[in-house]
Amino acid sequence: MTSLIDLDNVTLRGVDRAVLENTSLTVSSGDRIGVVGINGAGKSTLLKILAGELGPDSGEVRRGRAVRTGLLDQIPVLPVGTVRLALGEGWRVDASLDRLGVSHVVERETAQLSGGELKRVALARLFADSPDVLLLDEPTNHLDLEAIEWLEQHLIAHRGAVVVVSHDRFLLDQVTNRMIEIDGGRTYSHAGGYAQMLEAQALRAEHAALTERVRRNLARTELAWLRRGARARSTKPRARVEAATQLLQKRPDAPARSGNLELKVTTPRLGATVVRAHRVSFSYEPGRPVLRDVTLDIGPRDRIGVVGPNGSGKSTLVTILAGERAPTSGTVKHGPTVATAHLQQGEGDFDAQKTVQELVAGPGGAPGSPDDVALMKRFWFTGALPMSRPTQLSGGERRRLQLLLAFAKRPNLLIFDEPTNDLDLETIRLVEEFLIDWPGAFITVSHDRMFLRRTTERLLEVRAGGTVADVAGGLDGWVARSATRGQRNTIGDSGHPSREGATGVTRGRQLRDAEKAVTRLDQRRRSLTEELLITGDPKDQHRLGGELREVQTALDAAEEIWLNLMDSP
């Protein structure tokens, strides 16, 4: 392995703390490094130092001769002009644009791109340049599942090194062979992927707790001795007195955040019907429907995930279900006790002239009231943050502010659109734990496979042409069909996966994923078959028979992938 970039005892200080402290890291060819930490921990700063865009206050950064780095910022910046001018010509550019779903914007000005289009175009540009070290800051934001899987395969196949900051746990576990955790300015390195890092974190927490118990016991012993009086103290060495004093004064390292994110809220009780959409269609332009003849009935404890390609109409659908946009035709009715909180995609439409505490107080409220201060503290808005304006907050802080304002409404229907974008893993896990026990209804648009698996029980797909249908086999069925589409693009004339698409580590990971999908879908098929044999209700028989056919189709697709991978050289 060739060393490409080496950080030696690098320290970079912020206004009131060390963002990175005595950080040493070597990035070599073949490395696939994931970087995690809470918002503001220094993850993006580390990428900028590796890219040479920031210099440390102390320490040394060494780069191999002629090593080229490519940085994908969380909010990319492209040159002024058309997308084609910014990216240039070539089959690599065109292929990347196509797989990322932005071929249609090549003649558009870069200043006219949406946030999602900007991220995908910047990603295509980066891959076309083929740098030695790929430095990626939240690359899966605004990507659909098929594009994320394409990204995973490209990162695995990259000949140089990859350093990726991401909250996507599936991507981290699929791609990385080393994890870097930034906590309080310190960096911790873990061999393996995300799962191995969690195990190491648990062991570190246990060790810290044990160390603190030992320290407290020693402190109590020394304190008891000191309290026996001057006569006893005079018989002991002065060094022990000084050591006891230092021991009593020592405290464990303060956590990066105080307390947990407390999302507990009281909500009005829901009736039998939450939202009922009947034959809903919607068009932004006459004759070009985004949604067509959608009928949905959402109950009080439903947990629904919404998936589909970028631009298919997912955000439009949930905005209509939230009652914020009227359908072109059809009806949407809400139950009489429904209180909706809609967490929209993006960083929020805040009044830029108001501070956080003014936004929390709302119209007519008194900013900084004790109740509001307690609420802001629960969402980690402490110190100078309550007096900050939205434009002064980081992307993760603005996302947390959206959560805070949403829960302040005491909703019983939560509608989230890409909720994990810009949130750190700690916050995402806390939100997931909250949603598991959430007493109301929940609808989310998301590309985060782990988030969908942990929080939803039903999956809806918004398909090309504007139709909406349940996904047979749930998330596994959806992943299997998406993988089938991707597989067709990597299978050559021989019928086997191409060398670029499924060799070495890539083929092994694809094979494991295919085996898991086959196992889960086969279990679902068996369960449906048993239910079909037991029931005597004609309606249940019709419903179960239809779902069984769809699961069998998804299973066939997953088995086709598995067989192709098994047969490949």
Domain tally for the chain?
Answer: 4
Task: Express each pLDDT in 513-562 by its tens digit.
Answer: 677 677 777 777 777 777 777 777 777 777 778 778 778 888 877 777 77
Q: Which domain holds residue 333?
A: 275-355+393-470
Residue 20 in any domain: the answer is: yes
Residues 179, 213 share a domain: no
Structure tokens at 394: 């980081």
How much is the average pLDDT of 448-473? 89
End-to-end CA distance of the chain: 26
Across-strand partners of 414?
A: 341, 442
Structure tokens at 57: 């206050």
Task: Express each pLDDT in 176-190 by its tens digit.
Answer: 999 999 988 888 888
Task: Express each pLDDT in 115-148 by its tens digit.
Answer: 778 888 999 999 888 899 999 999 998 888 888 8
Residues 344, 224 share a domain: no
Structure tokens at 269: 């009780």
Angle at 199 between CA 37 and CA 262, to 5 degrees: 50
Per-residue pLDDT band at 500 (split at 50, 70, 90):
very low
Residues 341, 413 contacting (CB under 8 angstroms): yes
Distance CA 204, CA 188 (A): 10
Q: In terms of pLDDT, which residue wins out, 389 or 526?
A: 389
Of 192, 215, 238, the position where a domain reaches its end is: 192
Of 171, 192, 213, the position where a domain reaches its end is: 192
Per-residue pLDDT band at 505 (split at 50, 70, 90):
very low
Amino acid at site 217: N
Q: What is the pTM of this model?
A: 0.72
Residue 17 in any domain: the answer is: yes
Of 192, 208, 230, the position where a domain reaches its end is: 192
pLDDT at 360: 87
Residue 180 in any domain: the answer is: yes
Residue 213 in any domain: the answer is: yes
Task: Express each pLDDT in 406-424 by its tens digit.
Answer: 877 788 899 999 988 878 8
Residue 74 in any domain: the answer is: yes
Residues 312, 178 share a domain: no
Residue 222 in any domain: the answer is: yes
Residues 402, 340 share a domain: yes
Examine the pLDDT at 438 and tell me if it is beyond 60: yes
212-219: long-range contacts, CB 8 A cutoff, minimum separation 24? 212/252, 215/247, 215/250, 215/252, 218/247, 219/244, 219/247, 219/248
Task: Express each pLDDT in 143-177 by its tens digit.
Answer: 888 888 889 888 988 889 999 999 998 899 889 99
Residues 447, 313 share a domain: yes
Percent of the chain with pLDDT over 70: 82
Residue 255 in any domain: the answer is: no
Structure tokens at 499: 């060398």
Residues 228, 98 share a domain: no
Where do we find the tokens 């997931």?
A: 432
The DSSP 8-state label assigned to residue 105 in this structure reads: G
CATH code assigned at 315: 3.40.50.300
Residues 35, 120 share a domain: yes
Residue 367 in any domain: the answer is: no
Q: Name 428's Cβ contacts closer than 8 Å, sequence gap at least 6.
A: 167, 420, 448, 451
Task: Express each pLDDT in 365-383 by its tens digit.
Answer: 888 888 888 888 878 888 8
